Amino acid sequence: MRVDAHFHLWRPARGDYGWLTPATGALYRDYEPQEFAPLLVAHDIEAAILVQAAPSEAETRFLLDHAESRPWIAGVVGWTDLAADDAPARIAALAETPKILGLRPMLQDLDDPAWILGDAVRPALDAMAEHGLVFDALVRAEQLPAILTLATRHAGLSIVLDHFGKPRIEDAPDSEWRDAIAALAGMPNVTIKLSGLLTEAPPHADATTLASWFDHVASSFGTERILWGSDWPVVTTAGSYADWIAITNTLLAAFDSRAREAIFGANAARIYQL
């Protein structure tokens, strides 16, 4: 099964999205299932994972409503306040909800890079592990050491690192990012999404631009721990859905069909228990 492990839907008028303003240009409009679904059909992708884009339980319910009425939406990575006193109870209730797959705190937007390591959050993380929910890590590259500590402390928590940890894609991977990725790859509970790279790269980036970053991730994690995602519609600010598919196909050209199938869906199906 081919799976897009990372896409978004939103309606700015709902008021969930503090970051989504007219200054975001083409992203500042509604993105609905009927616009996205034909892209999956065109590229023989059978299912997709819908990921939160706002720190709001109301937005998570909105996404679940979409998912529960559309079989091709395999599930939702949502949000709840992990530091709330009743977070474990909220997580237990969410885990009973059809199509909830995981949770994603928006760590990249927090001033404290070590917030996720605070005592207030530990009960929620334990509850996520207990209920089999995946932790999607949306972080900047400088926050990767905190994710390594998180993975060490919570060995039973499945952690998916979004967007390669958002490295600065310039001339070559910097040593801090390379070292952090290698260390995270040493944690068996961590996997990584091949997503969100075009928007971290210079304009008109192609497979050659991204090859050094991809090669390091592939050699560190192996093909059984990499998940492909489009990051639609954010990707459209740097290229089309078809562009990202084509770039990915070029990056994967040296791998056999089993490895390509793993990255394009089998890994996501296993990790998110689809």
In tens, the pLDDT along 199-236 reads 999 999 999 999 999 999 999 999 999 999 999 999 99
Which pLDDT belongs to residue 154? 98
Q: How does the average pLDDT of the chain come out, rounded?
A: 97
pLDDT tens sequence across 41-52: 999 999 999 999
Q: How confident is the model at residue 157 (pLDDT cuts 50, 70, 90)?
A: very high
Q: Where are the domains of the chain?
A: 3-271
pLDDT > 70: what percent of the chain?
100
Q: Could you please report the per-residue DSSP string of the chain?
A: --EEEEE--B-GGGS--TT--GGGGGGSS-B-HHHHHHHHHHTT--EEEEE--SS-HHHHHHHHHHHHT-TTEEEEEE---TTSTTHHHHHHHHHTSTTEEEE---GGG-S-TTGGGSGGGHHHHHHHHHTT-EEEE---GGGHHHHHHHHHH-TTS-EEEGGGG----SSS--HHHHHHHHHHHTSTTEEEEE-S-GGGSPTT--HHHHHHHHHHHHHHH-GGGEEE---BTGGGGTS-HHHHHHHHHHHTTTS-HHHHHIIIIIHHHHHTT-
Check pLDDT > 90 for residue 171.
no
Please check the confidence at residue 113 and state whether its pLDDT lies above 90.
no
When pLDDT is cut at 50, 70 and 90, the band that residue 262 belongs to is: very high
Residue recorded with tokens 């979004």: 162
pLDDT digits (tens, 9 = 90+) for 69-98: 999 999 999 999 999 999 999 999 999 998
Span 176-196, pLDDT tens digits: 999 999 999 999 999 999 999
Domain 3-271 listed as CATH 3.20.20.140: yes
Confidence of residue 172 (pLDDT cuts 50, 70, 90): confident
